[in-house]
Structure formats: C-alpha cells, structure tokens
Amino acid sequence: MRLQKHKVRKSGDKEYYKWVLVVPPNRIEQLGWKEGIELKDEVKGESLCIQPLSKEELKGIQEKPLYDDFKKSIKTILERHPKGLTWTQIRDKLNFPQKYPNNQWVKKLEKDIGLKRIKTGGDLFWSSENETIYTIGYEGYTIEKFIKKLRDSNIQQLIDVREIALSRKNGFSKTILSKSLKDAGIKYKHIPELGSPKQVRHQLHKDLDYEKFFKEYKQHINDPDILDNISDIEGRARRKKTVLLCYERDYKICHRSIIAEELKRRGWKVNHL
C-alpha cells in the first residue's frame, strides 16, 4: 500500500495537490468492495479508518432530487456562472447531498441543456450553452427599475436593436445606458442595422398601419447582410444570457417581435420580459 502526492494544477505561484492512496487489488477482493461504492473516513489518533457507508447513510445520499428539479437547478446556477463551476462548487451552492453526480443524469443534461464539461488546470468545469434569448422594451421604466429588472432576470448582456440609440427618456440614450449597464456588470452592444429603417418608422407614425410596418420590416431583415447581424446575436447569446432592447413595452407592436420570430425559426426559445 502506498500514499502518493499528485499535483493537479498551478495558479500563479501557487501549486495545488491531491493525495492518492493506492490499495492492492487483493485487499479490495478480501473486503468485497466494488468500484463506485461510497466510503467514509475517520481519523483515530495517528490512523485513518476508511469504511463503506451504512445503509442509513446510503439512504440519505440516495434521496437525490428528481431529474427535472435537478436539471432546473443546474441550468439556473450555470446561467449565473457562465464561466463554469466544478461539481464540488455546484454541490456546495445547491446543498446537494451526493458526493458524485449521477452519470446517467449528466448524459441527459448534455442533450437537454447543452451541458459541457471542460478540464481546465486539473479541474473539470461544468458550463452550458444558452438556449433562450430575451427581449424587453423600456417604455414605462425608470433607468433604476430597468436595471433592477435585468439583474433580477440574471441578464448578462443587452443588445440594443434601435436604429438610433437616442431617447427623450432619461438614462436610455446609448452613452448613459451603456455606462449604467457596465456599472451593473451587464455588457452593452448596439446593432443599428436591426433597427426599423427611418422611412418605415415615419410611415407607421402617419398611418398606424402595423400590418404594413411588419411586412416592410420583414423585407428589410431578409437582406443577407442584415441576417448576418442575427447570426451575430446567436453567437453572443450562446456565451451570455442576452436580452434585445427596444422602446415599446408590448413586443407585439415592436419590430423586435420579427427578430424573435427569426430566432425561433433558427431553434431558439424567446422570452419577452
């Protein structure tokens, strides 16, 4: 039997190690232990005692959350930590009892929420690809309540789809809005090409013909160069929880609803805040 010291990672000048106890196969056979059994340890004097968990202790570990609840919890916490977390960090934050994740559930998460597990510096980090894009209109909000709404929704990135990012409403013009978002830890990006063209907006103000407005805006975004900007949104939204911004509170009378339709067609889920 031998105790080994393994370096697992290095961060700056600091090195991190783990200790590995190598047990001869004949001892494992004599004990009747199988791979994957849950063990506990206890220090007695200068001795380390290792033994399997009792039936009562196993029962406590086996009372795990149902898969749907597990999936929801994992998805939510990974959305809040886009850089990823180790299983130990996830377990501690969510107060899960099990020391190791259920491998069958992990495989299902890969399919259901796009779970990725990437080894970095000796640690295995869990992260997920976002599958939902959000939209919001700032009509009726003060800038303070608007920022709070985004933070309460765990938004990490705002994409402004107004053609001209100016507003008579305090706090919602591009320069001041981007600063307020930065202070709140939210990234700002303006894509004016996805705004409704000036002549289309002015015509709507004259005749209030929304059917004509949406028809002309759909023609506008069908231009290949404009569609490239929607592909840009997709790439950004996979890395950060993203919301599209325009003015109207009701998305049904806003051109962002047409952008949302195109994103849905491409397989995204869209949630209007």
For the chain, domains (ranges, CATH) are 2-60 (2.10.260), 64-128 (1.10.10.10), 132-272 (3.40.1010)
Res. 188: pLDDT tops 60:
yes
Cross-strand pairs, 42: 49
Res. 237: pLDDT tops 80:
yes
Between these two residues, 53 and 187, which has the higher pLDDT value?
187
Return d(Cα 153, Cα 155) in angstroms, integer. 5
Question: Residue 62's pLDDT is what?
Answer: 53
pTM of the model: 0.59
Average pLDDT, the chain: 86
Question: Residue 61's pLDDT is what?
Answer: 56
The mean pLDDT of 153-168, rounded to a whole number, is 92
Residue type, 178: S
Question: Residue 50's pLDDT is what?
Answer: 86
The mean pLDDT of 249-257, rounded to a whole number, is 93
* High-pLDDT (> 90) share of the chain, %: 38
Between these two residues, 129 and 234, which has the higher pLDDT value?
234
Residue from 181, 190, 134 nearest 161 by CA: 190
Neighbours of 98 (CB within 10 A): 15
Query: Quick check: 128 and 241 in contact, CB under 8 A?
Result: no
List Cβ neighbours of 72 (8 Å cut-off, separation of 6 or more): none
Question: Residue 262's pLDDT is what?
Answer: 92
Res. 241: pLDDT tops 90:
no
pLDDT digits (tens, 9 = 90+) for 34-68: 877 778 888 888 888 888 877 776 665 555 568 88
Res. 157: pLDDT tops 60:
yes
Query: Quick check: 161 and 146 in contact, CB under 8 A?
Result: no
**Alpha carbon of 269 to those of 47, 176, 242: distances in Å?**
56, 30, 12
Residue from 132, 103, 97, 127 nearest 114 by CA: 127
Question: Residue 16's pLDDT is what?
Answer: 64
Between these two residues, 18 and 219, which has the higher pLDDT value?
219
The mean pLDDT of 225-232, rounded to a whole number, is 90
Res. 137: pLDDT tops 70:
yes
The mean pLDDT of 89-97, rounded to a whole number, is 89
Res. 8: pLDDT tops 60:
no
